[in-house]
Structure 1
Amino acid sequence: MKTTAIDLFAGLGGWSTGARQAGVEVLWAANHWPEAVKWHAANHPHTEHACQDLHQAKWEQVPKHDLLLASPCCQGHSKARGKSSGNPQHDASRSTAWAVVSALEFHRPEAALVENVPEFTDWSLYPAWLQAVQSLGYQVSPHVVDCADLGVPQNRVRLVLVLTRSKAPLILRLPKEHHVPASSFLDFNSGNWSQIDKPGRAQATLDRVRNGRMRFGDQFIMPYYGKGSGLTGRDINRPIGTITTRDRWALVNGDRMRMLTANENLRAMTFPADVMRPTSHRLTVHMAGNAMPPLAAQRYIEALLEAA
């Protein structure tokens, strides 16, 4: 019998795409953002969709399932949105994790995979959240893994909590893949190139380009916005750094440079080439950066099914 799943906070569908690739049928998916639901539905037409605040979900209307997949909002926990970025310390987005508890309480699926940033476990209410999950009969096993180790061409460290109705916490036997380089998804024949040396270019950018050339030659990637990868950038023969919800990475080629295209952001996340997406570059980048990489999702689900 085919394993079935639901996807909470489904976004563009990283978990759902990974589940499909692992042979799991996603029966139901939900998100509060209509634009995300629109594109998830376009890519998963056989899945039932709900556009709602999951605090208000009527779980009796959600199909019975074997596996719950969820990526509650991470912005309230992430260091990327700390005090200096205006992140409130009591962010209402953190409470989205309680929807997972509500869903588990009603349906009691055999297992759940909950993805977030590692700082999720530093949340002051995490012990209460953990106790609630355990009170429902679930063992909880935290896995903190760099997605690059799962074959994603991106250094992206994420927490996945493995919740199972087992006698002891389940440690998944995840594969350790060779790292896939950023060059695997970069297209030097696309995008909007501009001259590096042009009026108005920030001195910090010029310094980073110069330092990158000294280390990597004429072709490399570097953070154009933000502080990642220091003052030099990164070799295209290693995975890119974390894809975020805003434009961050620039590609340097000789005396030209450009930001990554929306499609390159999606490929860095391992979405399939035929994924349907908004025409808006900004919206696509936002949805890509919010997603669980489908290949990482597939690896977790396959390891869970194998262990079961």
Structure 2
Amino acid sequence: MSAARLKQKKLSKRKVYAVDLFCGAGGLTHGLVNSGIDVKLGVDIDPACSYPYTSNNKAKFELKSVEELQESDIRENFRKNGINLLAGCAPCQTFSTYNRKADQNDERWWLLLQFSRLVRETTPELVTMENVPELIKQEVFNNFVKELQDIGYFVCYQIVNCAEYGLPQQRRRLVLLASKIGEIQLLQPDDFEITHKTVREAIGELPPINAGEIYDMDPLHQSSSLSDKNLKRIQASRPGGTWRDWEDELIAECHKKGTGKSYPSVYGRMVWDDPAPTMTTQFFGFGNGRFGHPEQDRAISLREGAILQTFPKEYKFVPPGEPIAIKTIGRLIGNAVPVKLGEIIGLSIRVHLKNYEMQIKKTKKRKIKRIKSGGSMIGE
């Protein structure tokens, strides 16, 4: 890994095969593949995911609702003699802090139960899930964990800040790992030789562009246009500052009200030497958060957002020559599991398997030693 190199830890060479539910544009899949896991299939209901998923990964893509997915759809992509992993990140907007109230009438609420159903039906050796931290407070998550434990999984989960793992983004996520093999843990930042990465290090070398401009050599390096007023606003903004720094005539009426004064993070510029804020599905809009470029008078481009999500610079999202729908591609990028986080999850799995292998070897050695010394093997 470039941003977070593992300290001296041995990785299992056993082959792990995976199916990625809610695969999106392939962030989690790409990270798992980088860690040495063979992802066979990605499943998503969004047709816009098909091209980026299959063009950047060797896995198949199935356009299908997880609710319609059957046990056989998954089993045919698992291997009888391999270690099998069912992975996924159910749509998280209904649990997000951006949602004032988690709504149980939102059908996305229950997709986690479909994930649970598929785990129960296919019984893979390993399961992983990534989601927003707020999910941990919901009964549907507690039920998910309990069911995993009831059917024989060792489960661990924790909330992580991606920046602590060397990602150029302050992104807090809930990561769950489960194993039928034995106790499993997510690798911690101390397990890596961390190089904390900043906005400057991530996107500082990209060619400058203006608001509304598309860079000829990379159509994804394009920025949304700005109204005259928003252009004046970003010109009046400083990195790390807020709209409270502006002259009164530039401040939106909603922010002048008592209820709007508590939202200082919109209409902001990023800071070069800090990690970026959390990439959302609206990161391409200057007024949607602290998504202003640190020094250019524009919001960050689609490519810059993808890089901050740790997609490789050459990651393809649209077929060559086809027009780019900013809202669609922005949604795919903002919804993605950061590639490097997917890689950390995959490495955690491979270290887990190696630890299990070492434990088995030690047990066998003790048995052989006991036999040679004439000791009893009762209870071993």
TM-score range, shorter chain: 0.7 to 0.9
Matched, 1:75 2:93: yes
Q: TM-score, normalised by structure 1?
A: 0.84
- 1:132-281 matches, cutoff 5 A: 132-168=147-183, 170-176=184-190, 177-184=194-201, 185-187=203-205, 189-193=207-211, 199-201=228-230, 208-209=237-238, 212=241, 227=263, 229=265, 233-246=269-282, 247=284, 248=288, 249-253=291-295, 257-278=297-318, 279-281=324-326
Partner SS for 2:238: helix
Query: What CA distance in whole angstroms lies between the structure 1 residues aligned with 2:61 and 2:345?
Result: 23
Are the structure 2 counterparts of residues 75 and 102 from structure 1 closer, same or farther at C-alpha, using a change threshold of 3 Å? Answer: same
TM-score normalised to structure 2 length: 0.69
Overall identity of the aligned pairs, in % = 22
Alpha-carbon contact 1:64-1:107 (below 8 Å) kept: no
Question: How far, CA to CA, are the matches of 1:89 and 1:134 in structure 2?
Answer: 24
CA distance in 2, matches of 1:207, 1:28: 48
The CA distance in 2 between the partners of 1:174 and 1:282, in whole Å, is 35
Is contact 1:174-1:299 (8 Å) kept?
A: no
- 1:151-207 CA distance string (max 9 Å, x none): 210010000011111454x2233334232000121356333249xxx9524887666
The count of corresponding residues between Structure 1 and Structure 2 is 287
1:281 offset after TM fit, Å?
2.5
Q: Does 1:58 align with 2:75?
A: no
Measured at CA, do residues 167 and 252 of structure 1 come closer, stay the same or move farther in structure 2, by a change above 3 Å?
A: closer
State the 1:100 CA deviation: 1.6
Contact 2:270 2:294 in 1 (8 A): no
Aligned-pair CA distance for 1:263: 0.4
Report the Cα distance in structure 1 between the residues aligned to 2:43 and 2:240, rounded to whole angstroms.
Answer: 45
Unaligned runs of 5+ in 2: 1-13, 213-226, 243-261, 319-323, 354-380
* Aligned-partner Cα distance in 1 for 2:239–2:33: 44
Question: Are 2:12 and 1:12 equivalent residues in the alignment?
Answer: no
User: In the aligned structure 2, how far is the partner of 1:108 from the partner of 1:9?
Assistant: 18
User: Displacement, 1:234?
Assistant: 4.3
Q: Distance between the aligned counterparts of 1:59 and 1:149, measured in 2? A: 37
Distance 1:290 1:27, change over 3 A: same
CA–CA distance in structure 1, aligned partners of residues 347 and 264 of structure 2: 32
Contact 1:154 1:241 survives alignment (8 Å): yes
Task: Please list the CA deviations of residues 217-244 of structure 1 after superposition, one character each: whole Å capped at 9, or x if unmatched.
Answer: xxxxxxxxx9464887542111000000
SS of match in other structure, 1:142: strand
Residues in 2 aligned to 1:53 and 1:290: alpha-carbon distance in whole angstroms? 17
Distance 1:281 1:191, change over 3 A: farther
Q: Which residue of 2 aligns with 1:223?
A: none
Q: Is the 8 A contact 2:268 2:292 kept in 1?
A: no
Asked if the contact 1:154/1:269 (under 8 Å) is kept, the reply is: yes
What SS does the corresponding residue of 1:273 show, helix, strand or coil?
Answer: coil
Amino acid at match of 1:18: G
Please say if 1:105 is aligned against 2:141.
no
SS at match of 1:81: coil
Q: Offset at 1:259?
A: 0.8
Residues 166 and 33 of structure 1: CA distance in aligned 2, closer, same or farther (over 3 Å): same
Structure 1 distance, partners of 2:234, 2:119, is: 48
Contact 2:185–2:348 under 8 Å retained in 1: no
Bigger-Rg structure (1/2) = 2
Alignment of 1:19-30 (within 5 A): 19-30=32-43
Q: Distance in 1 between matches of 2:267 and 2:21?
A: 38
What's the counterpart of residue 321 of structure 2? none
Task: For 1:111 and 1:15, locate their aligned partners in 2 and report how far apart those are by CA, in whole Å.
Answer: 15
- Alpha-carbon distance in 1 for matches of 2:109, 2:274: 33
Partners of 1:82 and 1:245 in 2: CA distance: 17
Which residue of structure 2 lines up, in the alignment, with residue 297 of structure 1? 342
